[in-house]
Every structure is written in C-alpha cells, then in structure tokens.
A and B are shown apart, each in its own frame.
Chain A
Amino acid sequence: MNSEEDLINRCLKNDQKAHEVLYKRFAPKMYGVCMRFAKNQMEADDILQEGFIKVFTNLKSFRNEGSLEGWIRRTIVNTAINLYKKNLKHQKDTDLEQAEVIQNQETNSLEKLSVQELLKLIMELPTGYRVVFNLNVIEGYSHKEIGDLLEISENTSKSQLSRARLALQKKLFNLNRTKD
C-alpha cells in the first residue's frame, strides 16, 4: 500500500482497508477545507462525509492526470458549492451591506493570529462572501470560474470578494483591538 496508484487500485477493488487508508491520509487536510467553506462544524462534517462518499463512488473516473489530492480537493470543494447552492434560498445575507471600509488598520499583530482565530473569522462571514473568498483567494479560481460554478456574474463575484475582504478586515481590526 505504498504508492498512490496501488492505493487507488485497491480501493477500486473494494478493498475496505484501502478505503480507510485513503480516508485517513487525506481527511485531515480536506476537513480543513471543509471548515473554511462551512459556517459551523456540523456543516463541515456533512461536507466531508458527502465529499468522501463521492470520492469513493467516483474514484474510477480519476485518470491519474493530476494528483489524487488535487482531485479529492476539487470533489470536496464542489460538494461544498453544491451545499451552498442548495441552501441558498434559505439564507439571509443581511450583513451584505454592513461591511465597513477599515483603512489604516494596525496590522502588526496579524502574524500572531492563529489559524483557528482566522478560521473563526472566515466562518463568521456571510455564506456568499465566504464561498467566493475561499474559491478565489485560497483555491485559486478565477472570477469567471466562480461565476460559472455559482451561477452568478463575474461582477457579482468580484463584488462579493471585495466585500468579503472588507468584512474580514473589520473583524481582524476588532480582534486585534480586543487582544490589545
């Protein structure tokens, strides 16, 4: 069970041990992705669960053209997007216009912020902001790709990103001020 290819082949043969090895190898990193896209841990659990079921059921479609981790990550991200779209009509992004422009922020202490603190901030973002921010800034999707994925225009994507940044800046400012 050393090589990735061997692991995939064994998974395709329905080797239960291989399933577990693959899950345990990639689940922690993917759970980090899920947490960024989710608004809470429960939602992250759901995304991870749904995502890995898709990974195992669609593994035969993986063609070794890229890394397995990249393929799993795309599957997880797509799962998160689907969940976002599914829940879209139930969400009320009431704070869309509430983000204030925070300028000249004291940012010397940014480096000291933990990942958990940053994660908390991102989870507090309105869902639309959070998804666009994650897709563009961390996952590297272009605004056109985001528009296609979320069925919104490029301009909307840009606008959401801009507001997400402002909202995060505000939250970072408040966090730093609290710490000080």
Chain B
Amino acid sequence: MNEKYSNIDDLYRDKFKDFELYPPDHVWENVKKEIGHPNAGKGGQSLSKGGIIGLTILLVVISTLTFYFLQNTIGRNPAKDIKSSEQSGIPLNKSVPRSVKSDSFDKNEKLGLKAKDSGIEKYQDLPTRFDLVQGKNLPSGKTSLSVDEHIIVSESKNGQNLPQEGQNQTLVDKVFTASDFNTKPGDGYEFTVTDDSDDYFTEEKITDDNSDPELVQNNIENSGESAPIQTSDYGRKGNWGAGLFFSPEMIFYPSSSNFNSRSYSFDLHAIYSLSGFILQTGVGVGMSSDNGNYKIDYNRYLGSYDDVYEVTFDTINGQVIPVYHTESIDVYDSIDYITITPTKRKYTYLNIPLLVGYGYEGKRFGWSIKTGPSISILIHENVPDISLGDSQDKILGIENELPGRLKTNWQFMLTGGASYKLSNSLNFMLEPVFRYYINSAYEQNNTISKRPYSFGIRAGLVLGF
C-alpha cells in the first residue's frame, strides 16, 4: 500500500466516508405508497393512539350533542310521540310524564269559553296516568277503564260543574290517548268521554277510525256538533333504551375465498328514538381469529463436542500439567430443513358503531332499518409462541404466512331487523347485519388486502326506560 493507504481498510473507509448516490425515483414512489400517502393511491393507514382517542371523543360528543338537540329543539306532537315510541322498538314506559295541550280548548271555545277563562295553561303537565287505570278519580259512572279507551276526563273546580262565563267552571282538562294505556291509535276503537257536570254534554264517544291520530274525530252527542280534536303542539321527549346484543358474523374476502373467517361480538348499545327515527351507538367487544401457517427454516441438531479454546499449564508436585479450557459447541446439520407449523392468532376488538335509521312497531312486532359507520380498534392480539418442540434444532428463519392486522379499521354498517315485544318495557330484536370494510383489517401488500365484507345476525334484548 502507498503511504496514504497503508491498508485496504483505510482506502475503503476514506473513499466511502461521504459517498452519496442518488437513488432512482421509483424507490420514493414505492415508499410513499407503503407509508400511506393518499396521492400514492393507497389509504388504510392505521390511526395513532391519539387519533383513536380523539375519534372516540368526537363520536361521543357528536352523539351527545345530537341527542341534546333532538330533545330540546324539535317540535312536539303527541300523536307522533305515540308513533315514535312504538316504532323505535323501545317499549313505552307509561310513567313518563308528558306535557300536553288539552283538547278541551276547542271544546271549551265551542262552549263559549276561552282558554284564559278555563284556568288551564296552554301547555300543562299530566303527572299521572296510573291513578286512572287503578280506578281513582274516574269520571262518574265509570269504575275502570279498558285498554282500548281514550278518555277525556272532566274536573270540577270549587264544586261548580257548569261552565259559565266568568265563573269557576267545569273543565275538560285532561286528555288520555290510546298510548297511555298501551293501545294503538287508529284502529277504530270507540272512546268514551264522560263528563258528569252539565247540560252541554255528559258523555261523548270518539271513534278513532283514522290511522292518523291527529285526524281523530270527536262527536259530541248532546250538542249535535262535530268537531275535530285538534292536534296541538305537545311538549314531549323521545325514548331511550339500552340493548344487549350478540352477533356472530362471517367475513368474506373477495381476493381469497380460503381466508374467510368468523367473528363474534357482544355489544351494549344506547338507543334513542324520536318520531320513528332512531339513533344508536355503544360499545362492543368483538373476537375473531386467523388460521395460518409458519414456515420455519432450521438446521437439525446433531450433537455437541467440547472445544478446547485455550491450554494453560500448571505445576502440581513439580510436574507441569496442561489444563485444557473447553466450551461446548453444538453441531448442526449443514442442510437446511423446512417445516410448516399451523398457528392460530386470536384478536379482540373494541367496536364503536354510530347508527341512524327508522323503525316502526305494531302491537307485538316491529321492524327497523339502520345504517352508519363503525370503527374497530384492535385491543388485544394473542400470538402463539413459535417453537420446534423440545428439539434443539436451530431456527434459521421464520416466514409468517399470516398477514398482520391493522390497529384500526372502519366499516359501513347496514342492519334491518325485526323486534318482538316481550313485555311493555322489553323487546327481543333479531336483525341481519351487513358490514363493508372501508379499509381492510389487514396490512397492505398481501392477497387479502382487498376490502372484505361480512354478514351476520344480531340478536338481543332492548330495555326501554
């Protein structure tokens, strides 16, 4: 070597110290694709932990605000309320007080009374229904009510029964609709209106022969007049329910039919309904698994020998004794072997759906259809250990034939199902569930990265509050 490069090491070290070379453009294009740049034509990048938390908070906030908005700003209508309660699949709870405008206004006006004279607030709360059902405070001549009656109850004030201008009057001030007794309006029930007070009317029958409760006609027999019961701006709230569901699903992979897999999930959902419209969200725990193989390259263990790596000499009783320092060296076959080991990975996901939809429920049966996004967050992964049993064979390499799963994936959900009323506050629901995976649950660049879809059946119980 010359003076500058006394050995080959210095030559190479020096020459390559600042060596640079421009890589071809396609390398960066490929890197861009792999790290999920949208303009590289691929999405599906997994969310960071912060992103997941942020997204969850966002979902909760949006849900809360939506509920708040619906509860406080939407115009109220008792007839629709009835429908709403029944269409949502959430059983109606009769103890919920609601604010109604009395139909008696129209009647009182016909009788020459004005609302202000009646002493009734435009909107007033009707605190109890059960008193009536239990036979208390019933209008005269009645000791009980059957479930198919709509009752307008009269009350007297200060013992004055006849409504007279400027005096305390007998007022029709409470309206009880079919829903209060868990009956369905619009089915042609005949309702009895009883008033024990005066000459104007003592009893009226209302035939509910129209499917729209807003158009129910009343017939005032004594007066011979016929006037519609006016629909009023009723103040009311939607209905809440909680559902517990179990959903087995089959996931299909368009690009690899052999890879189809099953999943199971348990979900706890909150359901809010208003005027037939349904908003549903909650959390669920989903479990799925992948069956696959590991390809293991290995060298067979043949045995071992003691290798002398150092010899020292010692003197014992005047004699020089060699001391051999050894170490055990394992010996392996130089031929590479390959073995295929089946494996099963198990995954646990946290599922958060946000569904909107519409539903209807009759006396016993109902239906609903819902759609919306759902996010699945991988919270646990059970990966079995890879080994060659008890052998001492040396593993050279492991090729995992199972693709990795992404931390998060999004799905579009569509459900349509039926409900059956088990009791006034409990419904059984059964609904098919279709999911389309907006991004694959698997890492990119494998044969099953195409967007899968799944079909399942969701069964559960919904409890109305």
What is A's interface to B at a CB cutoff of 8 Å?
A: 14, 16, 19-20, 23-24, 27-29, 31-32, 34-36, 44-45, 48-49, 52-53, 56-57, 85-86, 88-89, 105, 107-108, 110-111, 113, 115, 118-119, 122, 133, 137-138, 165, 168-169, 172
Residues of B close to A89: CB separation below 8 A: 297, 336, 396-397
Docked CA distance A126–B397 (Å): 21
Give 11 pairs: A residue, B residue, CB < 8 Å, sorted on A: A23-B31, A28-B23, A29-B20, A31-B21, A44-B23, A52-B31, A89-B396, A107-B5, A118-B16, A119-B16, A138-B16
Chain B's nearest CB lies how many Å from the CB of A83? 12
Task: Scan B384-399; emit 1 where CB is below 8 A from any A CB, else 0.
Answer: 0000000000001100
Contact A115 B8 (CB under 8 A): no
Q: Kindly specify which of B32-40, B114-122, B351-359 makes contact with the partner chain.
A: B32-40
Given A31-B20, A31-B21, are A85 and B397 neighbors across the interface (CB < 8 Å)?
Answer: yes
Q: Given A19-B32, A53-B34, A168-B8, is A108 in contact with B20 using a C-beta cutoff of 8 Å?
A: no
- The yes or no answer to B27 lying at the interface (CB within 8 A) is yes
Q: Does the CB pair B1–A110 fall under 8 Å?
A: yes
Contacts of B24 in A (CB 8 A): 45
Of B5, B19, B30, which one neighbours A115 at CB under 8 angstroms?
A: B19
Q: Please pick, from B9, B12, B30, B31, the residue contacting A122 in the complex, using a CB distance under 8 A.
A: B12
Interface contact B16-A49, CB-CB below 8 Å: no
Interface residue SS majority, chain A: helix
**A23 with B21, Cβ < 8 A, contacts A32-B16, A88-B396, A172-B8 known:** no
**Contacts of A14 on B, CB cut-off 8 Å?**
45
Task: Spell out B's residues near A (CB within 8 Å).
Answer: 1-2, 4-5, 7-9, 11-13, 15-16, 18-24, 26-28, 30-32, 34-35, 37, 39, 45, 297, 336, 396-397
CB atoms of B23 and A118 under 8 A apart: no
Contact among A27, A31, A108, A118 for B12, CB-based, below 8 A = A118
CB neighbours (8 Å) of A169 from chain B are 8
- Given contacts A28-B22, A138-B13, A53 and B31 within 8 Å (CB-CB): yes
Which chain B residue shows the least CB distance to A16?
Answer: B37
Most A Cβ at <10 Å: residue of B13, B23, B39:
B23
A66 to B27, CA, bound (A): 26
10 tightest CB-CB pairs across the interface, nearest first? A28-B20, A32-B19, A31-B23, A107-B1, A137-B9, A56-B35, A53-B34, A31-B21, A89-B336, A52-B31
Q: Is the CB of A165 within 8 A of B32?
A: no
> Beyond the given A35-B21, A85-B396, could you list 20 further A-B residue pairs with CB under 8 A, ordered by the A residue number?
A14-B45, A19-B37, A23-B31, A27-B27, A29-B18, A29-B19, A32-B16, A32-B21, A36-B19, A57-B35, A85-B397, A89-B297, A105-B1, A107-B1, A107-B2, A108-B2, A111-B4, A113-B11, A113-B15, A165-B8
**A91–B248 Cα gap in the complex (Å)?**
49
**Using Cβ atoms and an 8 Å threshold, which residues of chain A touch B37?**
16, 19
Q: A49 — which chain B residues lie within 8 A by C-beta?
A: 27, 30-31, 34
Smallest beta-carbon distance B392→chain A, Å: 15
Cα A24 to Cα B297 with chains together (Å): 37
Q: Which residues of B contact A105 (CB under 8 A)?
A: 1
Cα distance A44–B31 in the bound complex, in angstroms: 14
Docked complex Cα distance between A168 and B5 (Å): 14
Inside 8 A of B12's CB, which chain A residues have their CB?
118, 122, 133, 137-138, 168
A57 (CB) vs chain B CBs: closest residue? B35
Q: How far is the CA of A21 from the CA of B379 in the complex (A)?
A: 34
Q: Decide if A110 touches B11 in the complex (CB within 8 Å).
A: yes
**Chain B residues near A85 (CB-CB < 8 A):** 396-397
